Amino acid sequence: MGTSDKKQEAEAERALQRRRVDALMEQGVSFADPARVDIRGTLTCGKDVFIDINAVFEGIVSLGDNTRIEPNNVIRDSDIGSGTVIHPNCHIEGAKTGNDCEIGPFSRLRPEAELADCVKIGNFVEIKKSTIADGSKVNHLSYIGDTSIGSGVNVGAGTVTCNYDGANKSRTVIGDGAFIGSGVQLVAPVEIGAGATIGAGSTISKPAAAGKLTLARAQQTTLTGWKRPTKKP
């Protein structure tokens, strides 16, 4: 086929995509709509894989048995474990997941994000250069960077690992079974002991003892005589 203009280039690309999708369907992969998937590299699939519409695969990607890729996902140079579900609107690059993980919607896994089995990464969560062990959860509105998270950890909504001081990156270590409350900042380098609980709204810059509750909050104050500002006429 000649490609002397943009229209012919698009037609040639679509023909190539059809061949790639047909080959995967012959292997048993299911597509919600074979015409709405782009494979811009090498995609390897296990048994009983399902791929929904508007999925884009770039570089070298592998999907384990029984994985489910829901709509509008971009996956680049990543390995997705068996039984894992990628909910809509996720961006995954240079990452690895174990088996039976759940990711998204609206999650981002950046390079060197490594998830073990049964890990949950929820909506509006970003993971970068971090390892997360079996059964841990980061469910809502959080940034985890340069961090090692143990097994069975719950990271509350709005948690941030403060890994960059303007010049250098430092690591955070969270032990097995720890519970991180909502709205917490973990200022690296810092270590949270196994089974520790961090109270919501805390800024933690020193080691937190294993099995104990650690809080770091400013004293709450109510000002008398204060009035809310009003708009000028």
CATH code for position 51: 2.160.10.10
Active-site residues, by number, are 140
Tokens of 171: 């690591």
What does the pLDDT read at residue 1? 67
What is the Cα–Cα distance from 226 to 215, expressed in whole angstroms?
Answer: 29
Strand partners, 85: 68, 102
Tokens of 89: 């609107």
The answer as to whether 222 is a domain residue is no
Q: Structural domain tally of the chain?
A: 1
Secondary structure of 193-208 in the HEC alphabet?
A: CCCCEECCCCEECCCE
The answer as to whether 59 is a domain residue is yes
What does the pLDDT read at residue 232? 83
The answer as to whether 88 is a domain residue is yes
Per this entry, what is the length of the chain? 233
CA 47 to chain centre: 24
The answer as to whether 233 is a domain residue is no
The answer as to whether 116 is a domain residue is yes
The answer as to whether 225 is a domain residue is no
Longest dimension (CA), the chain: 79
The answer as to whether 87 is a domain residue is yes
For residue 32, give its domain range. 10-214
Tokens of 190: 């810092």
The answer as to whether 2 is a domain residue is no
What is the Cα–Cα distance from 24 to 57, expressed in whole angstroms?
Answer: 13
Q: What string of pLDDT tens digits covers the 233 residues of the chain?
A: 677 789 888 888 888 889 999 999 999 999 999 999 999 999 999 999 999 999 999 999 999 999 999 999 999 999 999 999 999 999 999 999 999 999 999 999 999 999 999 999 999 999 999 999 999 999 999 999 999 999 999 999 999 999 999 899 999 999 999 999 999 999 999 999 999 999 999 999 999 999 999 999 888 788 899 888 888 88
Distances (CA, A) of 228 to 7, 66, 220, 225: 60, 56, 18, 10
